């Protein structure tokens, strides 16, 4: 069970990093992302807590909508 949770956390964190840093260089005019909503599934809120503790959610240009799933089965169904 720990291995599955760790794998899901790494997948979520990797996806978040890719989405965050895929914006391109600063020389290109920034798009207005204030109306964009990134929907993130999390199991028991652990990923969100770790990202907030690391300060990675502080100045994102988009909104994040969190869905907390009580078990990995539900999380996989949502995918």
DSSP, res 62: S
Is the pLDDT reported for residue 33 higher than 80? yes
The model carries a pTM of: 0.55
pLDDT category at 66 given cuts 50, 70, 90 is very high
Number of domain units in the chain? 1
Q: Judge residue 35's burial from the number of C-beta atoms within 10 Å of its C-beta, 0-12 exposed, 13-18 middle, 19 or more buried.
A: exposed
> Residue 36 belongs to what domain range?
2-78
Q: Give the pLDDT confidence of 44-62 residue by residue, as tens digits.
A: 888 899 999 999 999 899 9
């Amino acid at each position: 069970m720990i291995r599955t949770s760790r794998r899901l956390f790494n997948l979520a964190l990797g996806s978040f990093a890719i989405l965050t840093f895929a914006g391109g260089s600063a020389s290109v005019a920034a798009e207005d992302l204030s109306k964009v909503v990134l929907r993130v599934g999390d199991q028991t809120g652990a990923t969100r807590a770790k990202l907030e503790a690391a300060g990675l959610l502080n100045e994102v240009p988009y909104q994040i909508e969190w869905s907390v799933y009580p078990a990995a089965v539900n999380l996989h169904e949502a995918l």
